[in-house]
Amino acid sequence: MLYEKLLKPYFFKMDPEKAHHLVIDGLAAAGKVPGALGVMNAMYGVNPIPQLSTELFGISFPHPVGLAAGLDKNGKATDGFSSIGFGFMEVGTVTPKGQPGNELPRLFRLPPDQALINRMGFNNEGAAAMENSLKSRKVHRIPIAVNIGKNKVTPNEEAHKDYQSCIQSLYESGDFFVVNISSPNTQGLRDLQHGEELRRLLDTVTEEIRQQAAMRNAKPKPVLVKIAPDMSDEELQQTVATIMVSGVSGIIATNTTLSRDGLVHANKSETGGLSGIPLKTRSTEVIRAVYEQTGGKLPIIGSGGIFTAQDAYDKIRAGASLVEIYTALIYRGPGLLRELTSGLSDCLRRDGYSHIAEAVGADHR
């Protein structure tokens, strides 16, 4: 209520990217004020809900609703986000070296469509800066995933080295890792989703993960691949087949889309990746296709257009074990986390399930 009546109108009068930075900087600053994180957790935190607790990749998640990558690009506000009810979060996308990203303006709201378009271009301060930020975490309430990418100036034939470098720098800092090869805002990046380039990249990543684990005499940390919603059925099948034999731990479906179907706001003509409600149906279709192809044996994190508990539940029934939000947080605020988790519990009771794991992939049975 506080967000939608007071903060959202204020933020929506601002340039979207300025509002973005204000939120991140504000959450980061709050983490340094004694007692502030406790107040935030009391206002927005989600109490333990046993039927929603999830074990995946050997990691415990208090509930299945996380924050997608792109909001906290440098890992500066993890304590704040960990205190407002998320079950996990992704930081990044981070690249080995800091880079400014694409030219401004590059973030656009489409309020009637409940959507955003961004063409940020992996703007971030680099792996070393993120390492410093994550080392200073005070709140370890939820798992943190590090979303990694390549620098804009790195040619695709050298891209695997950038992902390898990120893992080397940040292995200690993340609970699991996400290989981002699906952003539409770095030229040529989506070409890494296919063929020999994908095989080489995933071979390099999984080997580096194994080496980092061996140096610590520990089990390798999980690594997932984030895929685009815009592939043809044949391309998706080929990409998933390559991912399945690579030894990675799972798939995130999906990133933003280039589609503009059904949009009404004038910003629909802006280039970049579209997120929000218009992506909801397609991302669920991709989840369903991936689950069918993998026989449910490769865990999926569902992302794209989740605004209600039923949206999240639809993705879970389609095959997702966890889900992520981003655009809905911008439009609805942090109170949404309690609404989603409470609503998921209601969905389970309605369908006669005692635990969220029983609903994963239920549409296929």
169 token code pair: 């720098």
Say how far apart CA 332 and CA 8 lie, in whole Å: 8
Q: Count CA atoms within 13 Å of residue 54 on its CB side.
A: 26
- Of the residues 83, 182, 183, 345, which is catalytic? 183
N-terminal to C-terminal alpha carbon distance within the chain: 39
Q: Chain centroid to CA 157: how far?
A: 26
CA distances (Å), origin 232, targets 188, 194, 195, 238, 300: 17, 12, 14, 10, 19
Say how far apart CA 343 and CA 337 lie, in whole Å: 10
246 catalytically annotated? no
Q: Are residues 63 and 46 in contact, defined by beta-carbon separation less than 8 angstroms?
A: yes
Say how far apart CA 24 and CA 349 lie, in whole Å: 36
CA distances (Å), origin 309, targets 150, 168, 314, 336, 361: 34, 37, 9, 9, 16
Pairing between β-strand 115-118 and β-strand 107-110 as defined by DSSP bridges: antiparallel
Residue 4 CB neighbour total at 10 angstroms: 13
Ramachandran area for residue 221 (φ above 0: left; ψ -120 to 50: alpha; else beta): beta
Which distant-in-sequence residues (6+ apart) come within 8 Å of 142 by Cβ? 61, 62, 66, 82, 86, 87, 88, 89
341 by DSSP, 3-state: which? helix
CA distances (Å), origin 325, targets 59, 247, 255: 20, 26, 11
- Cα-flanking dihedrals φ and ψ of residue 213, to 5°? -65, -40
Known catalytic residues? 183
